[in-house]
Amino acid sequence: MRREQNERLGAGQATPAAPERLLFCALELFARKGYAATTVREIVQAAKVAKPVLYYYFRNKEGIYIELMRSAFVKFEAVVDETTKEERPSRDRILRLCDRVFALFLENVELARVMNSVYYGPPQGAPFFDFEVYHRKFQDAITALVAQGMRSGEFRKGNVADDALAIIGAINMAMEMRLCHPEVELGREGLARILNVIFNGVRKQARKGVRR
């Protein structure tokens, strides 16, 4: 059945790797030219498939864009869910979560570039994708871990939201430096150093009798 469909779609061009090639080439074009300026013709030419192959797998350019975003954020959600449920101290889970999210970002820098251009730039006609859901999920996860650390005595008592925003600000800065100033990027080790600076301010004072 699939063989007959492939023959109809483009003289055998619809190999098992066709969807992956289409996604890869579309992402490269979106990042270099912008979503609006990229055409279906350019995508299929770069992927070396016929137009019907793209229509079969993704229906249109919008479908490719949605699949690129969806697949990346499925991985993001898995990282957040898995890390927050680990049996570790709150500090370790926060450091591990930030590291894993940043590593995922580094694996998908061009996708992040496309996302930022659509989210922060001028309208490009890209289909709606609710990025805010994922921003809130990450913020809620960090906030919950900070709150747990305060309740357990691992962190000093303070403003949970402010401490969470300081941590989120560090990873956002690391991402921005990689996108805009790769020559001085922090990298994963640099992000860990910055987070530890923050933790030196939120970690509970070990010596008794010392007021903060």
Q: In terms of domains, do 34 and 77 share one?
A: no
Q: What is the pTM of this model?
A: 0.85
Q: In terms of domains, do 96 and 145 share one?
A: yes
Q: 99 with 192: CB under 8 angstroms?
A: yes
Residues 154-174: tens digit of each pLDDT? 998 889 999 999 999 999 999
Q: In terms of domains, do 22 and 118 share one?
A: no
Write down which residue in 26, 59, 92 finishes a domain: 59
Q: In terms of domains, do 20 and 81 share one?
A: no
CA pair distance 157, 95, nearest whole angstrom:
19
Residue 2 has pLDDT above 70, yes or no: no
What is the model's pLDDT at position 19?
95
Q: In terms of domains, do 55 and 92 share one?
A: no
Q: In terms of domains, do 52 and 30 share one?
A: yes
Q: In terms of domains, do 107 and 130 share one?
A: yes
Q: In terms of domains, do 32 and 115 share one?
A: no
Q: In terms of domains, do 38 and 99 share one?
A: no
CA pair distance 84, 148, nearest whole angstrom:
11
Residues 12-68: tens digit of each pLDDT? 444 548 999 999 999 999 999 999 999 999 999 999 999 999 999 999 999 999 999
SS (H, E, C) 108-148: CHHHHHHHHHHHHCCCCCCCCCCHHHHHHHHHHHHHHHHHH
Write down which residue in 17, 41, 59 finishes a domain: 59
If one counts the domains in the chain, the total is: 2
Residues 138-158: tens digit of each pLDDT? 999 999 999 999 999 999 888
What is the model's pLDDT at position 24?
96
Structural domain boundaries, residue 45: 1-59
Residues 114-135: what's their mean pLDDT? 92
CA pair distance 143, 155, nearest whole angstrom:
13
Write down which residue in 59, 76, 91 finishes a domain: 59
